[in-house]
Amino acid sequence: MNAMGATGVPEVVTVGLGERSYHILIGKGLIERAGTEIAARLPGVRAAIVTDGNVAAAWLPALTDSLSKAGIETVAITLPPGEKTKSFEHLEQVVDGVLGARLERRDAVIALGGGVIGDLTGFAAGIVRRGMNFVQVPTSLLAQVDSSVGGKTGINTPRGKNLVGVFMQPKLVIADTGTLDTLSEREFRAGYAEVAKYGLIDRPDFFAWLEANWQEVFSGGPARTRAIAVSCQAKADVVARDEFETGDRALLNLGHTFGHALEAATAYDSARLVHGEGVAIGMALAHRFSARMNLASLDDAERVERHLRDVGLPWRMSDVPGELPGAERLLEYISQDKKVSRGALTFILTRGIGQSFIAKDVPASEVLSFLRENLL
Amino acid sequence: MNAMGATGVPEVVTVGLGERSYHILIGKGLIERAGTEIAARLPGVRAAIVTDGNVAAAWLPALTDSLSKAGIETVAITLPPGEKTKSFEHLEQVVDGVLGARLERRDAVIALGGGVIGDLTGFAAGIVRRGMNFVQVPTSLLAQVDSSVGGKTGINTPRGKNLVGVFMQPKLVIADTGTLDTLSEREFRAGYAEVAKYGLIDRPDFFAWLEANWQEVFSGGPARTRAIAVSCQAKADVVARDEFETGDRALLNLGHTFGHALEAATAYDSARLVHGEGVAIGMALAHRFSARMNLASLDDAERVERHLRDVGLPWRMSDVPGELPGAERLLEYISQDKKVSRGALTFILTRGIGQSFIAKDVPASEVLSFLRENLL
C-alpha cells in the first residue's frame, strides 16, 4: 500500500456549492502535483503565493518548482508566523504585494500554510479587484480539516478574533498529508480535536472508527488521509446546507462556545491553550452540560472525555495550566462571543454521540451553576 | 404637482438580483421617511450611520431623527470629506466604530453621503462579521445614479483607485432628490455626465429626452426625479445581466477608459478635473474615436459633444485647465487601467447614439494616432 492509500490516487472531496463548487485533493506528496492540478483548472494563470517564514523554509521551494514546471509564474509574499499576522497591517501588505505583482482578477492567490495564512490570504484574495481566484495549500491538520472547507476568511482586531472578513470559496484545495509530518505533536493533536468534532456532530460511526484507529491517524498511514477526507466531507455537507451561516452551520461550533471563553480567559496565550485544545475541553463540557440538562447520558460524556484523554488532549478546565478566572467571568466571555444572538445564549448541545443540535435560549443561570461545579 | 412628481409617491426602481434584490426609492424629502422605510424592511435593527463632516452638518440630524422616531437606535461615525478618505486607514476606523457599537450581523450600516462615503461604507458593511445589512442614503447625483446600483464598493491604495473592495448589495437605497439642492453647480453637472451616459449606452430615447429636458433636471422639478429613476433602472438592467462584472457590465465603462487616463494625467486634482468631467470628455472621445474607426457617424459624435457643451460640461481634452502630457503618456495611463485584460486594449465603442458595445483588441496604434490628433 503506497502513501496515498491502496489506490495510489488522492482522495477527492467535492464541496457542492453550485457555481462555487470546488475539489479538495487529499494525499501524500500532492505539492509536487500542485502545478498540474492548478493549471488544469485555471489555464494561463499567474500566481502570488502567500506563506509564513516557517512554512516557506519547508515547502515554498517545492511548490514554486511544481508551479514553474506547469508554466505558472509566481511571486512569493512571506509573512511572520503567528496569530498576530491576522491583522489589518498584514492584510494591507498582502494586498499591496498582489497588486505590485500586477496580477489581474483571473490570476490566483495561493495560501501555503496553516489557518492564519489561509484566513488572511483568503480575505486578501476576496478583496483585491473585488475578488480573484483563491487556491489553498493547507499545511496543518487544523487547516486541512477546518479552514479548507467553508470559505470563511478573516482577520482579528482589538475588538476580537475573526470579526472582519469575507466568505470566499477557493477554486481548489490541495491537502498534502506529508506536510503534517513536520508539525509538532501538540499542533497535530490540536487539529485532531476538530477531526473528532465531526464524529460528535453527526457521524457516530466515524467517532467509533476514530476510537479504534486514532493511532494510525497520528502515525501518518492511510487512515490519516481517510480521516481528513471524512472530516472535509462532513464539514462540506454542513456548509452546503448553509453557506452563509444563517442556520445549521452553527453545528460546526460544537465545543467552540466554551472553548472560545477559555481561549479569551487565557488571553490567547498559546503556551497555555491553543484553539484545538480549547475546542477539546469545550466539546467535553458541551457533552457533560447536555447530560446535566438531561438531554444526553453521562456515559456518552465520559466516552468523549476518555477518547480525548487517550489521544493526549486536555478535556477538563483543570487541564489548563495556570489559574482560570471564576465562573462569572467565564460567563461574561461566553456572552461576548459572536455566536450570541441578541443577548440569548445559544449553545451546541447534544442528545448523544453524533446527535448534536442548536439549543437557543439556554438559561445563563444553568450555565453559571455548571461552570461553578466544573471549576472545582 | 408636488415635489415628488404628479403622484406624490416616490419612484421605486427594483434591482433584480434574485435573493439579493432590493429597492431604490427616489423622491424629494425621503430622508424624513427613512426610518419607516428601513424599519419596515429590517425590523428590530440597530444602525451605524457613516457620513462625512459636510454631509453630517446638512443631513445627519434629519436622518437620525427619522430613525429614532421609527425606534431605530443609531451611532454616527463621521469622517473627513474627500477622496483621501477611501483608504485602509479609514476603513479600519469605520470597522472599529461599528464593532465598538456592538452591532451584530443582522444590524445595519448606513452610508449617508456621496460616492466616497458609499464606497467605503459598503466595503466596511461587507467585511464586518463577514457581511452586515447595508443601506445607502446617497446625497450626490453621482452617488444616486451610479453607486446606488451595482454593489461595487472599495477603497484606493497607492497602487490605484478602487483596486480593493467587495461586491456588496444594499438592502435598500433611499435617494432623496432634495439633498441635491445643496450641491455645487459643478458637482451636479459632473453627476449629470453619468445620467447622459445611460442614454448613450443603450437608451437613445432617453438621450433625446435629456436633450429636451435637461434644464428641468438641473432646476429640480419632477424631471429630475424621472432622470434619476431612469438612470437607476438602466444601470440595474445591465447589472442584473452581469452582477460580478464578467461581461456586459463593462458597457457601464463607456467614457471611462479615456476618462480615467485624464484623471490620472491630472493627478486626480479635483481643481482641474473631477470624475464626471473626465467621463464627459471620455464619452465624447469614445464617440469621435468610433467615427474615426468608421463604426459610427461623425454627426452622432457632434450631437454628443453639443449636448455636453450645452449643459456646461467639458467635452474635449483642451477643456482641461493646465497642461496635459503627450499622447504616448496618455496611452500608458490607458494601458494601466484595470479594464485592460492581459495586455489587449478593451474599449467601449459605439455604432451611434444608444448603440454602444464592448470592443476588444483595439489596436494601440490607432488609439495613439487618435490621441495625437485630438491633443492639437
A329 noted as active-site residue = no
Q: Which residues contact A286 (CB under 8 A, 6 or more apart)?
A: A254, A255, A257, A258, A347, A348, A349, A350, A356
End residue of a domain, out of A152, A183, A214: A183
Cell numbers given for A293:
440538562
Do both A156 and A26 map to the same domain? yes
- Checking if the pLDDT of B2 tops 60, the result is no
Same domain, B133 and B268: no
B334 is in an annotated binding site: no
Listed in order, strand segments (DSSP E) in B55-207 are 74-79, 108-113, 133-138, 155-157, 160-164, 172-176
Domain-located, residue B189:
no
Residue B167 with chain A: CB contacts under 8 Å: 130-131
Partner-chain contact A342 B88, CB within 8 Å: no
If one counts the domains in chain A, the total is 2
Type of residue found at A254: L
- B206 domain-assigned: no
Q: Looking at residue B186, what is its pLDDT?
A: 96
Best probe of the B interface among A45, A90, A130, A339, by most B CBs < 10 A, is A130
pLDDT at residue B8, as a whole number? 59
Query: Dihedral of the CA atoms B323, B329, B332, B338 (nearest 10)?
Result: -10
- Residues shown for chain B: 376
Question: Which residue in B208, B189, B191, B190 sits closest to B199, CA to CA?
Answer: B208
B163 lies within 8 A of chain A by CB: yes
Catalytic, A152? Answer yes
| CA atoms of A341 and A132, how far apart (whole Å) | 32
- Residue A223: inside a domain, yes or no? no
**Spatial separation of the C-alpha atoms in residues B184 and A269, rounded to whole Å:** 55
Within a domain: A50: yes
Same domain (yes/no): A149, A262: no
Look at B241 and B141; give whichever has higher pLDDT: B141
Q: How confident is the model at residue B5 (pLDDT cuts 50, 70, 90)?
A: very low
B156 is catalytic: no
Q: Give per-residue pLDDT as tens, B231-281.
A: 999 999 999 888 888 888 999 999 999 999 999 999 989 999 999 999 999
- Please say if the pLDDT value at position B341 is more than 70: no
Residue A260 falls in the annotated catalytic set: yes
Mean pLDDT along residues B37-44: 97
Residues B261 and B154 in one domain: no
Could you say which of A99, A127, A159 has the minimum Cβ distance to residue B96?
A159
For B165, the closest of A123, A130, A163 (CB atoms) is A130
Q: Which of A93, A109, A127 to substitute to test the interface with B, most B CBs within 10 Å?
A: A127
- Domain membership of residue A362 as a residue range: 246-375
Same domain for B251 and B307, yes or no, is: yes
Categorize the per-residue pLDDT at B344 as very low, low, confident or very high, splitting at 50, 70 and 90: low
Which of A153, A183, A213 is the C-terminal boundary of a domain? A183
Q: What is the pLDDT of residue A337?
A: 57
B338 close to A (CB below 8 A): yes
Mark whether B47 and B133 lie in a shared domain: yes
Same domain? For A52 and A139 the reply is yes
Taking only the tens place, the pLDDT of each residue in B152-195 is 999 999 998 899 999 999 999 999 999 999 999 999 999 999 99
CA–CA distance, B322 with B338 (Å, rounded to integer): 26
Please compute Rg for chain B using Cα positions.
20
Question: Closest partner residue to B163 among A99, A166, A245, by Cβ?
Answer: A99
Q: What is the pLDDT of residues B354-367, one digit of tens each?
A: 999 999 889 888 99
Among A88, A128, A153, the residue with its CB nearest the CB of B92 is A88
- Confidence (pLDDT) at B3: 43
* pLDDT at res. A210: 98
Cα distances (angstroms) measured from residue A182 to each of A54, A61, B92, B161: 11, 16, 36, 42
Mean pLDDT calculated for residue range B121-135? 98
Q: Residue B336: which residues within 8 A CB-CB, separation 6 or more?
A: B160, B264
B93 and B157 fall within a common domain: yes
Residue of B88, B163, B244 with shortest CB distance to A92: B88
CATH code for the domain in which residue A36 is found: 3.40.50.1970
Determine the residue among B95, B99, B123, B127 to mutate to test chain A binding: the one whose Cβ has the most chain A Cβ atoms within 10 Å: B127
CB nearest B130 (choices: A95, A104, A152): A152
Contact A167 B104 (CB under 8 A): no
Which whole-number Å values give the CA distances from A275 to A78, A267, B22, B265, in the listed order? 23, 12, 40, 51
Q: Please give the Cα distance from B91 to B275 (Å, whole number).
A: 22
Residues B266 and B347 in one domain: yes
Q: DSSP character for B341?
A: B
Nearest Cα neighbor of A126 from B323, B368, B183, B126 is B126
Whether A341 sits inside 8 A of B166 (CB atoms) is no
Dihedral, B348, B354, B355, B360 alpha carbons, nearest 10:
10
Residue B166 and residue A88: Cβ atoms within 8 Å? no
Q: Measured between CB atoms, does A151 come within 8 Å of chain B?
A: no
- DSSP secondary structure string for all residues of B132-171: -EEEEEE-SHHIIIIITSS-B--EEETTEEEEE--B---S
CB-based contact, A127 to chain B, within 8 Å? yes
Residue type, B169: Q
Q: Which of B187, B194, B277, B305 is catalytic?
A: B194
CATH number at residue B301: 1.20.1090.10
Out of A28, A46, A86, A152, pick the active-site residue.
A152
From chain A, pick out residues whose CB is under 8 angstroms from the CB of B341. Answer: 104
Would you list which residues of A are annotated within the binding site? 115-119, 139-140, 152, 161, 179-182, 194, 256, 275
**Among residues B183, B217, B245, which one ends one of the domains?**
B183
Residues A163, B92: C-beta atoms closer than 8 Å: no
The nearest CA of chain B is from the CA of A285 a distance in Å of 27
Residue A228 placed within a domain: no
A-chain residues near B130 (CB < 8 A): 152-154, 165-167, 245
Residue indicated by cell numbers 463593462:
B250
Cβ-Cβ contacts under 8 Å for B133 (sequence gap 6 or more): B42, B45, B106, B107, B108, B109, B125, B171
- Chain A interface, best mutation among B95, B155, B156, B164, by max A CB count within 10 A: B164
Average pLDDT over residues B198-218: 97
CA–CA dist A303, B336 (Å, integer): 62
- Regarding whether A169 and A62 lie in a shared domain, the answer is yes
B62: in domain = yes
Q: Which residue of B has its CA nearest to A101?
A: B159
Q: Residues near B27 by Cβ (< 8 Å), separated by ≥ 6?
A: B3, B4, B5, B9, B10, B11, B175, B176, B177, B225
Band of pLDDT at residue B337, cut at 50, 70 and 90 = low
Q: Are A177 and A252 in a shared domain?
A: no
Residue-by-residue pLDDT tens, chain A, 376 positions: 334 444 457 899 999 999 999 999 999 999 999 999 999 999 999 999 999 999 999 999 999 999 999 999 999 999 999 999 999 999 999 999 999 999 999 999 999 999 999 999 999 999 999 999 999 999 999 999 998 899 999 999 999 889 999 999 999 999 999 999 999 999 999 999 999 999 999 999 999 999 999 999 999 989 999 999 999 999 999 998 888 888 889 999 999 999 999 999 999 899 999 999 999 999 999 999 999 999 999 999 999 999 999 999 999 999 999 999 999 999 999 887 545 554 568 899 999 999 999 998 898 889 999 999 998 7
* Residue B204 included in any domain: no
For residue A91, CA distances in Å to A77, A79, A82, B97, B119 come to 11, 10, 14, 19, 19
Q: Identify whether A42 is part of a domain.
A: yes
Beta bridge partners of B160: B157
Do A281 and A164 belong to one domain? no
